[in-house]
Structure 1
Amino acid sequence: MKPIRKIYLFYLLSFMGLSFVSSSFAQSGLQKLDDHIMIDLQEHRTPEQTGVFMFLSQTHLYGDIGIPAGLLVGGIISNDKQMRQNSLYIASSTALSFGLTFLIKHIVKRPRPFVQNINIVPVYRAGSTSFPSGHTSSSFATATALSRAYPKWYVIAPAFLWASSVSYSRMYLGVHYPTDVAAGAVIGTGSAFVLQSLKK
């Protein structure tokens, strides 16, 4: 299968699958479960934890941009072609996940938790729509691609710990449902695997 067709197929299957999930929120127990988890999280917030999770939520851009940029600079300085290629792979994975997330957000248009349910009180009021989580998709794309490029435990463990922390912070802060985060993780991870398959 040609590389471009693989990307189109990934976009199409992801969109169809995630759109089906999003359309069944109200008809299934998913919405009630999402609401229950969000309210439980907000009832156990503390000022200290809120500060930590606000910080973690904001690190996604530093990771998404800083990791491939650092590899690119390191590859140029050390004249390491593989490192430069890894930089491009990680950046492309994040870009692919961003594109798919943007597309689904603007078609599905799921309201933010605090808009959908007045009992959910966010730490701050994020804009745009809720499904899927962009922070989650980009951080998982970065973590997965980095782990595929450097399959060592001391790379994989911190990478996924960071991505998971960013993802959890979005729920803790009251701006994304658990299903938004789960969908974002699927998109991000899938983007990295699809692009790696194109390299072969």
Structure 2
Amino acid sequence: MSKLIFFSIFLFCFSISNAQNSDIDLLKKINLNRNTNLESTMVGITNSAMPVSVGTPIIIYAVGLIEKDSTTKKKAIFIGESLAASAFISLALKSIAKRERPYETYPEIENVTLESSYSFPSAHTSSAFSTATSLSMAYPKWYVIAPSFLWAGAVGYSRMYLGVHYPTDVFAGAIVGSGSAFLCYKLNKWINKKRAPHQKKLWE
């Protein structure tokens, strides 16, 4: 039994080591081979994460108020709830994982910007994917879904391009963001069903 436990621990550590090696290798390919002419563009994309994520539900809610449309206001609240949930989960995971930024561990990584928080997961990415997913669920049209996820993916890529996140940070951020939107949707649907059993959709 003790040999099996030792082998399991060894295998786990070996897997983590390989994953870390693949993580930093991919980051180096993205960061060290980047087109420096795009730096200002990438900084702009990364800086758009929070303004767009926060502004989207506010604008939609304002439209709902102006048009006196309760359905539009419900969609805005749902998008805002998804963002709040993703932010809470991301901050909680950061405080638990306490992973240092890649440029702090690997001096060869060229960070274009500085960050004060921990690395895992990427909060910028989680916010972007939360907004993209919840917006796409509220307005399931290709002309909403395509640009939303294109923007969210660009935000995630920009975090690696700028050298402030590992690929696994970005991947985890995307999962947290999208997962938060689905969780909020299911929770709202369950609450609405309890209040009005005949309702089939969140927005009806």
Query: Which TM-score tier does this pair reach, normalised by the shorter chain?
Result: 0.7 to 0.9
Q: Distance in 1 between matches of 2:57 and 2:158?
A: 23
Which of the residues 124, 135, 159 maps onto 1:170?
A: 159
- Residue 183 of structure 1: how far off its partner (Å): 0.4
- Residue 75 of structure 1: how far off its partner (Å): 0.3
Deviates more, 1:113-122 or 1:172-181: 113-122
Aligned letter for 2:132? A
Which position in structure 2 is the counterpart of 1:154?
A: 143
1:130 aligns with 2:119: yes
1:116 aligns with 2:113: no
Aligned letter for 2:61? L
Which of the residues 13, 17, 30 maps onto 1:28?
A: 17
| Structure 1 unmatched runs, 5+ | 1-22
Aligned letter for 2:21? K
User: In structure 2, do the counterparts of structure 1 residues 25 and 104 end up closer, same or farther at CA, with 3 Å as the change threshold?
Assistant: farther
Q: Distance in 2 between matches of 1:148 and 1:55?
A: 26
Normalised TM-score (structure 1): 0.85
- Higher radius of gyration, 1 or 2: 2
Bigger RCO of structures 1 and 2 (CA < 8 A, at least 6 apart): 1
Which position in structure 2 is the counterpart of 1:74?
A: 63
Residue by residue, what CA displacement relative to the aligned partner does 1:105-157 show, whole Å, maximum 9, x if unpaired?
01110010011112212112211110000000111001100000000000000
- Residue 65 of structure 1: how far off its partner (Å): 1.1
Which of the residues 131, 135, 146 maps onto 1:142?
A: 131
Q: Distance in 1 between matches of 2:85 and 2:14?
A: 26
Q: Distance in 1 between matches of 2:39 and 2:132?
A: 24
- 1:60·1:138 contact (CA, 8 Å) conserved in 2? yes
What fraction of aligned residue pairs are identical, expressed as a percent?
43
Q: When the two structures are aligned, how many residues end up with a matched partner?
A: 178
Which position in structure 2 is the counterpart of 1:191?
A: 180
Residue by residue, what CA displacement relative to the aligned partner does 1:158-196 show, whole Å, maximum 9, x if unpaired?
110111101100000000000000000000000000110
- 2:31·2:160 contact (CA, 8 Å) conserved in 1? no
- 1:25·1:31 contact (CA, 8 Å) conserved in 2? no
User: In structure 2, do the counterparts of structure 1 residues 78 and 112 end up closer, same or farther at CA, with 3 Å as the change threshold?
Assistant: same
Normalised TM-score (structure 2): 0.83
Residue by residue, what CA displacement relative to the aligned partner does 1:40-65 show, whole Å, maximum 9, x if unpaired?
22222233211111000000112111
- Residue 26 of structure 1: how far off its partner (Å): 7.6
Which of the residues 63, 68, 87 maps onto 1:98?
A: 87
Q: Distance in 2 between matches of 1:73 and 1:25?
A: 53
